[in-house]
């Protein structure tokens, strides 16, 4: 199994993912590979897989790719165009998801892996005030800076999915479940996802044996 987590900024996705990984690891056989969370380190894996220089990591957070930047930077330094980087990111996401025991945060991973039966898709949402408070505490920024950060990140992620996949990031039909971390604690959210993933794994195993 593998899990994708799409999220509104400030929902605590990384905290939930790490708690989820611990729960799934505790339930896994002793000889099973460790559950690994890929968030910002996903791009490091993309660069490694495609033999790209590490300095490119600063160009490829979600929605920081644009054709204008492609043109400008092509004049002064080597950098693959946005479409190429997105394609390479998709290839790495698919490879990791096929291997399993990974939790992939963001990067439209739920769309990229939509046809893989072993992948469970989750969307995390929460009221804006709760997200501002979490970003304020988690990233040690002022509440005003947290609000600006959340608005910028949400808009960027929406554009990324719309631009490269012609889809809406908030379409509930793309997910097995949507959880509100304004109503659920991070521990509760992780437990709900873990239980659902284990149930899904059992269902897939039964369908293969029949």
Whichever domain contains 85, its CATH number is 3.40.50.300
Q: Which residues of the chain have pLDDT under 50?
A: 56, 59, 61, 64-79
pLDDT the model gives residue 106: 93
Radius of gyration of the chain (CA): 18
The answer to whether 81 and 175 have CB atoms below 8 angstroms apart is no
pLDDT the model gives residue 177: 98
Number of domains in the chain: 1
Rounded to the nearest 10 degrees, what angle do helices 186-209 and 13-27 cross at? 50
The answer to whether 165 and 110 have CB atoms below 8 angstroms apart is no
Rounded CA separation 199/210 (Å): 17
State the sign of the Cα–Cα–Cα–Cα dihedral 152, 158, 159, 161.
positive
The domain containing residue 168 runs over which residues? 2-209
Give bridge partners of residue 3 from the DSSP assignment.
103, 120
């Amino acid at each position: 199994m593998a899990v994708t987590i799409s999220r509104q900024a400030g929902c605590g996705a990384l905290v939930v993912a790490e708690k989820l990984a611990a729960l799934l690891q505790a339930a896994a056989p002793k000889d099973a590979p460790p559950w690994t969370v890929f968030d910002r380190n996903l791009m490091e894996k993309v660069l490694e897989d495609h033999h790209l220089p590490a300095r490119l990591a600063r160009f490829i957070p979600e929605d920081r790719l644009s054709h204008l930047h492609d043109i400008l930077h092509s004049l002064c330094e080597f950098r693959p165009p946005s479409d190429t980087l997105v394609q390479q990111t998709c290839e790495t996401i698919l490879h990791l998801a096929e291997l399993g025991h990974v939790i992939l945060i963001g990067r439209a991973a739920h769309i990229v892996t939509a046809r893989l039966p072993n992948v469970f898709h989750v969307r995390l949402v929460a009221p804006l005030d709760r997200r501002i408070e979490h970003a304020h505490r988690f990233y040690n920024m002022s509440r005003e800076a947290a609000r600006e950060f959340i608005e910028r990140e949400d808009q960027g992620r929406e554009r990324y999915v719309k631009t490269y996949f012609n889809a809406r990031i908030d379409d509930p039909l793309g997910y097995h479940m949507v959880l509100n971390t304004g109503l659920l604690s991070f521990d509760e959210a992780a437990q709900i996802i873990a239980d659902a993933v284990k149930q899904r794994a059992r269902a897939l195993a039964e369908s293969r044996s029949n």
